[in-house]
Structure 1
Amino acid sequence: MPKIDDSIPFEPAGFAVIIVSDTRDASTDKSGDLLASRIGEAGHRLVTRTIVKDDRSAIRAAVEAAVANSEVDAVITSGGTGFTGRDVTPEAIEPLFDKRMDGFSAVFHRLSYDVIGTSTVQSRCTAGLIGTTFVFVLPGSPGACRDAWDKILKDQFDIRFRPCNFVEIMPRLSER
């Protein structure tokens, strides 16, 4: 049964949040606000937060910069996962993955189905590893960000979460 083992000391992780949008700015970025708040409330560090346009090159450059920052353990993007012509976040980021995390998308869609029903099929959320950095590509809605953080990422970035979590494997991600 999943649980928190309070005998293990908490270890904070460093996060980069990248919002992908042609219309949002710092004053209207509800998804970024939600993620920043949740990251801080959980005891982690928000290393960087930025907004980039729906442009493959801009998205890729922002993710590559975040991954190059040694303080960043995980990147969370929000936006650009739908099917419109401007939705290009998966296309920008997936080629950078060294390893895909197909289970993240499967679990996200399972949880999302309980909230929005079959509309979950309109999201192309994805995740993977770039080098030793976890990267999560979320839809742009605050609800999707809340569900991903509260129901998946919060536990996986808590070393006390059992039976297993991302934090305990982070030192081994560079093994060959």
Structure 2
Amino acid sequence: MSSIPHPDSQPQAVNCAAITLSDTRTRETDRSGGLIRQFLADAGHSVVEYAILKDDPRLIQTQLQNLGQRLDVDAIILNGGTGIAPRDTTYDAIAALLEKTLPGFGEIFRVLSYQEIGSRAIASRAIAGVYRAKLVFSIPGSSGAVKLAMQQLILPELIHLTQQLHQQP
């Protein structure tokens, strides 16, 4: 069985927001946010919003709500705050707002992570879903996790999932 998805009918650029959630990172030290933006650009997609926010549920939810209202955003990729430490609140903030979830994203991400880092993968609360007709991916903030999620899950399906969201009923 092939792990290569079927080709998308029409290649297109997807307008994305890249949001880093961290109490310590700056634009100069945000390697993971930089990787996300670089992967998107290399694949021909646009980054229409980039921000670094403190890992605070109210800030995260406000950012998601604001992005949900924007017509120029198709997908939102958040990194950081997906663990179980007291300051890791991204999962809880995001899960409360998602209208639909993509359980397979987190499940497959953890399997792939397990192959790379072993049993520590169980601590990841990576999640994906839909909010206001926009794809939302929330991934760990390590550069290894970002690379894995972007290369093996997000980029291969970004166009296809976006097209599905914009289909007329």
In structure 2, the residue matched to 1:128 is 129
What does residue 113 of structure 1 align with?
A: 114
- RMSD across aligned C-alpha pairs, in angstroms? 1.5
| Per-residue Cα deviation, 1:102-125 (whole angstroms, up to 9, x for no partner) | 010011111111111111111111
Paired residue for 1:53? 54
The one-letter amino acid of 2:114's match is Y
Deviation of 1:64 after TM superposition, in Å, equals 1.3
Letter in 1 for 2:91: P
Letter in structure 2 aligned against 1:168: Q
Alpha-carbon distance between aligned partners in 2 of 1:4 and 1:151, rounded to the nearest angstrom: 14
Give yes or no for contact 2:127–2:137 (8 Å, CA) kept in 1.
yes
Task: State the identity %.
Answer: 34
Code of the residue aligned with 2:19 in structure 1: it is I
Structure 1 residues 5 and 82, CA gap change in structure 2 (3 angstroms):
closer
**What code does the residue aligned with 2:161 have?**
F
Cα pair 1:105 1:127 within 8 Å, conserved = yes
Structure 2 CA distance for partners of 1:5 and 1:129, relative to 1, 3 Å:
closer
Counterpart of 1:162 in structure 2 is: none
Question: Structure 1, residues 97-153: CA drift from partner, whole Å, max 9, x if none?
Answer: 111110100111111111111111111111111121011110010110110000011
1:53-92 aligned at under 5 Å gives the runs 53-92=54-93
Structure 2-normalised TM-score? 0.93
Change (3 A) 1:5 1:100: closer
Deviation at 1:5, TM superposition (A): 3.9
| Runs of at least 5 residues in structure 1 that lack an aligned partner in the other structure | 159-164
1 CA distance for matches of 2:89 and 2:43? 30
- 1:161 aligned residue: none
Rounded Cα–Cα distance in structure 1 between residues aligned with 2:81 and 2:71: 26
For residues 35 and 162 of structure 2, the distance between their equivalents in structure 1, rounded to whole angstroms, comes to: 22
Q: Deviations over 1:7-55 (max 9, x none)?
A: x441110100110000001000000000000000000010100000011
Could you tell me whether the CA contact under 8 Å between 1:16 and 1:46 is conserved in 2? yes
SS of the residue aligned with 1:129?
A: strand
Any stretches of 5+ residues in structure 2 without a counterpart?
Answer: none
1:169 to 138, 151, 164: 164
Instruction: Give the Å deviation of 1:170.
Output: 2.6
The answer as to whether partners of 1:90 and 1:137 remain within 8 angstroms in 2 is yes
For 1:138, give the aligned amino acid.
Answer: I
Match of 1:29 in 2: 30
Separation in 2, partners of 1:169, 1:4? 14
**Contact kept in structure 2, 1:98 and 1:128, CA below 8 Å:** yes
The answer as to whether partners of 2:135 and 2:162 remain within 8 angstroms in 1 is no
CA contact (8 A) 1:67 1:75 kept: no
Alpha-carbon offset, residue 4 of structure 1: 5.9
The aligned length equals 167
